[in-house]
């Protein structure tokens, strides 16, 4: 991390499933750069896409990283059905209101998942992280 920060990197992409939240945050915080100049992303893991687990994951991320807030928190994948996705999104919205997270978004969602959230959600979109693979047209879609 130290070399990356010295080279000008200011954004770290972490996730529960990458098991890199604690070491990357430690590297950022130890780099001697003011926190407001750094950008830290993490994600709710696919198996935790529901209200209670998403809330727990956010709190665990803050505890592991020792950060006062997380800049961007994403739903890592659109699994666990409509109820799970909407519950997890609600947990992210609450985390923003509580000051735990600054921005929220999704990763690996298909168009129909985005439409589902758009119909439900009450806050504006901030970020979406998509993976598009030419050989697998529906690789990011799930029921």
At residue 104 the predicted structure's pLDDT band, cuts being 50, 70 and 90, is: very high
pLDDT of 123 > 80? The answer is no
**Does residue 18 have an active-site annotation?**
yes
CA dist., res. 65 & res. 60, Å (int):
8
Reported pTM: 0.83
Note the pLDDT tens digit of each residue in 41-54.
999 999 999 999 99
**What pLDDT, on a 0 to 100 scale, did the predictor assign at position 131?**
54
Closest CA to 82 of 57, 58, 116: 116
**What pLDDT, on a 0 to 100 scale, did the predictor assign at position 138?**
45
Query: Which one has a higher pLDDT value, 128 or 65?
Result: 65
CA-to-CA separations, 32 to 12, 26, 84, 100, 129, in angstroms, rounded: 15, 11, 39, 22, 29
Q: Is 65 exposed, middle or buried (CB count within 10 Å of its CB: 0-12, 13-18, 19+)?
A: buried
Which CATH code for domain 2-129? 3.20.20.100
Q: Are 128 and 105 in contact (CB under 8 A)?
A: yes
Given 9, 18, 69, 73, the catalytic residue: 18
């Amino acid at each position: 991390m130290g070399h990356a920060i010295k080279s000008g990197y200011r954004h770290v992409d972490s996730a529960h499933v990458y098991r890199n939240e604690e070491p990357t945050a430690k590297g950022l915080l130890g780099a001697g750069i003011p926190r407001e100049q750094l950008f830290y992303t993490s994600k709710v893991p696919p198996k935790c896409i529901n209200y209670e687990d998403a809330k727990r994951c956010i709190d665990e991320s803050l505890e592991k990283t020792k950060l006062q807030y997380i800049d961007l928190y994403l739903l890592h994948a659109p699994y666990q059905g409509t109820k799970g996705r909407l519950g997890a999104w609600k947990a992210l919205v609450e985390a923003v209101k509580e000051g735990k997270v600054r921005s929220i978004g999704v990763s690996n969602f298909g168009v129909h998942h985005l439409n589902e959230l758009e119909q439900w959600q009450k806050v504006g979109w901030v970020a979406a992280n998509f993976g598009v693979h030419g050989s697998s047209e529906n690789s990011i879609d799930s029921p």
